[in-house]
Amino acid sequence: MKSTLEIGIIQQSKTGDIADNRRRLAEAVGQLAANGAKLIVNQELHDTLYFCQTESVECFDLAVGINQENEVCHFYSDLAKRHGIVLVVSLFERRAPGLCHNTAIVFDTDGYEAGRYRKMHIPDDPAYYEKFYFTPGDLGFRPIDTSIGRLGILVCWDQWFPEAARLMALAGAELLIYPTAIGWESTDTPDEQERQRQAWMTVQRGHAVANGLPVVTVNRVGHEADPSAATGGIQFWGSSFIAGPQGELLFEAPTDQECTQIISVDMHRSEQVRRWWPFLRDRRIDAYDGLLRRYIATE
């Protein structure tokens, strides 16, 4: 990987107009690439509204097959090739009838798919009914090799699990990347809202520290109504950010505005940080058998 990597992030609000969502995303990609971005990361499920606020079989019509000939994949592979960038996209993958995944795909500078990651941890909470739509991933925690380096792609709910970040790091990831869709429920108090947002940032910055790797997180922003009217909808909190290998914030986007930004990341810094703090060296892999159990009761 080059010593310095120019990373572009796209934090946007979304509407029910899929074509317009893609058009605006393509414009942002073009602007970032023209200004020197080599890697561009998008938010989770960026083509559509966050449909998981309700359980509706009609929403499965939004899923797309993922292959190089598919119209949607061709759209994004062409973007990557035309601008000579590595592009991370997030799609609702239709694998077979009734079998769908929340899938991140990486297109390399030649437009070909470098690899994909299927979201492993699937939430099922009020307004986040993802288990209704997504089958847990079956590709494991494998980094994706690209022309700019080895990318550890994870997705949203994966953010809360240190095991996922660690396994990506142990497999040689040089960067941890999280496309995300997370926000506040309208009945939460302002204090509770801020605690949630800070916890979300803190745990991911902790992954950066624990693994000595930069972390790139791209979230959506803006309010999306609950189609069932059971809740007040979700106010997505934006706050897309990049942290360095000691958890230091290199950039943080606003909570209430769209944002496209290029951040220059020193990719050689991880080598030095891991020499200072050799956490991988000092792991007691002989004593971690309990991690493979659901719960260890106190006796």
Catalytic residue ranges: 44, 119, 156
Closest CA to 151 of 1, 273, 264, 277: 1
Residues 44-54: b if buried by 16+ CB within 10 A, e if exposed: bbbbbbbbbbb
Q: pTM for this one?
A: 0.96
Q: Do 72 and 47 meet the contact criterion of CB atoms below 8 Å apart?
A: yes
List Cβ neighbours of 170 (8 Å cut-off, separation of 6 or more): 280
Q: How far apart are alpha carbons 128 and 189 in whole angstroms?
A: 19
Given the DSSP bridges, would you call strands 86-96 and 39-42 parallel, antiparallel or unpaired? parallel
For 99-121, the pLDDT digits (tens) are 999 999 999 999 999 999 999 99
Residues 172-198: b if buried by 16+ CB within 10 A, e if exposed: ebbbbbbbbbbbbbeeeeeeebeebbe
Q: How far apart are alpha carbons 219 and 238 in whole angstroms?
A: 5
Q: Do 21 and 51 meet the contact criterion of CB atoms below 8 Å apart?
A: no
For 41-94, the pLDDT digits (tens) are 999 999 999 999 999 999 999 999 988 678 999 999 999 999 999 999 999 999
